[in-house]
Amino acid sequence: MMRLLRTSFRLACLVTGLALLPALLPAQSAPSTGKAVSAPIPDISTLMREVEANQKQLEVERKDYTYHAHIVIQNLDKNGNVTKTGTEDHNIFYVNGQEIDQLLQRNGQPLSARDEEKEQKRVDKQIAKARKGDDKDDPNKQLVLTISRMLELGTVSNPRRVLLHGRSTIAFDYTGSPRAKTHNLSDAVMKDLVGTIWVDEAARHIVRLKAHFEKNFHIAGGLLVNVQKNTHFAFEQGLVNNEVWLPTLVEIHGGVRFLLVKSLNQDVRASFSDYRKFQSQVTILPGVKQVQP
């Protein structure tokens, strides 16, 4: 499930080329008075290229952080009624700029000794690949898109200034173009997406994104992945310790089928907490603030 969640989060983050959000902590330099800002709305193309540039710095800043992910998965029947509920708990950290997740619990219970050993081997393998920079076989690496390419694949409209958690954000709508020529998976995703993006005006980071597929989305004619029409997702991220932007919330609703396996209609909600900063990956620095749910 974490693999599906991570893929969905990357879909949400395509607009910044991101790899993987509670109330936001106010930045010292950001307007947080709750009053409307009267300055002209910035050019969206310029704004998003600044967001993309900030991503490089984010990859440096987040490497010393680890945090907890709590995921609630609800299976739904055709009428939208919940038929089964499960939970997973993961520890998230970064190695050589790559996100690593380690499963800790299922349904509130620690892993068995056998499952824990298998999970540790999987994590060790991911760490080794990250240290070598050997991620060429990672299918999620196909979900990398530059801002300039995103703007070629669709249109942005209705830019407006919105106060979100007391901070000034620039919100705008994105609509993929069905006539755009695609070259890879990232292109295909953005071509079929419709949604809204909120950018923190002072920090130039995306703080919220909501999007949905207007039609069924297929990979390899549906043999590999088949995402049902109107499947939608959202993510938010917040400023932690006044220095790094990390995820706080991911939500997915809809039907997805992988490799001809029976389709799953699910509601998935992942909340993130317990943000901790390490020094030399050993000592937790004192006084590090956490984003509270």
pLDDT for the residue numbered 33: 39
pLDDT tens digit string along 226-256?
A: 677 778 889 899 989 888 889 999 998 876 6
Query: What confidence score (pLDDT) does residue 151 get?
Result: 73
More confident residue, 1 or 279: 279
Q: Look at residue 264 in the predicted model and tell me its pLDDT.
A: 67
* Most confident by average pLDDT, 66-70, 165-169, 205-209, 254-258: 66-70
pLDDT at 28 over 70: no
Amino acid at 88: E
Over the chain, what is the mean pLDDT? 75
Q: What is the pLDDT of residue 16?
A: 34
Question: pLDDT tens for residues 31-47?
Answer: 343 444 568 898 888 88
Q: How far apart are CA 18 and CA 242, in angstroms?
A: 20
pLDDT > 70 in the chain, percent: 70
Residue 163 in this model has a pLDDT that exceeds 50: yes
What pLDDT score does 21 carry? 27
DSSP conformation letters of the chain: -HHHHHHHHHHHTGGGT-----PPPPPTTS--SSPPP-SPPPPHHHHHHHHHHHHHHHHHHGGGEEEEEEEEEEEE-TTS-EEEEEEEEEEEEEETTEEEEEEEEETTEEPPHHHHHHHHHHHHHHHHHHHHT--TT-GGGG----HHHHHHHEEEEEEEEEEETTEEEEEEEEEE-TT----SHHHHHHHHEEEEEEEETTT--EEEEEEEESS-EEEGGGTSEEEPTT-EEEEEEEEETTTEEEEEEEEEEEEEEETTPPPEEEEEEEEEEEEEEEETTTEEPTT------
What are the angstrom distances between the C-alpha of 190 and each of 141, 149, 185, 209, 261? 15, 10, 9, 13, 25
Given this model, what pLDDT does residue 279 score?
Answer: 61
Of the ranges 21-30, 37-46, 204-213, the best mean pLDDT one: 204-213
Q: Residue 13: what pLDDT?
A: 41
| Of the candidate ranges 7-11, 73-77, 204-208, the one whose mean pLDDT is the lowest | 7-11
User: Distance between CA atoms of 252 and 231, rounded to whole angstroms?
Assistant: 8
Q: Which residue has the higher pLDDT, 36 or 180?
A: 180
pLDDT score of 183 more than 50:
yes
Q: How far apart are CA 29 and CA 52, in angstroms?
A: 20
Which one of 105-119, 155-169, 249-263 scores highest in mean pLDDT? 105-119
The mean pLDDT of 133-152, rounded to a whole number, is 60
pLDDT at 49: 84
Banded pLDDT at 218 (limits 50, 70, 90): low
Q: State the average pLDDT over residues 135-153.
A: 60
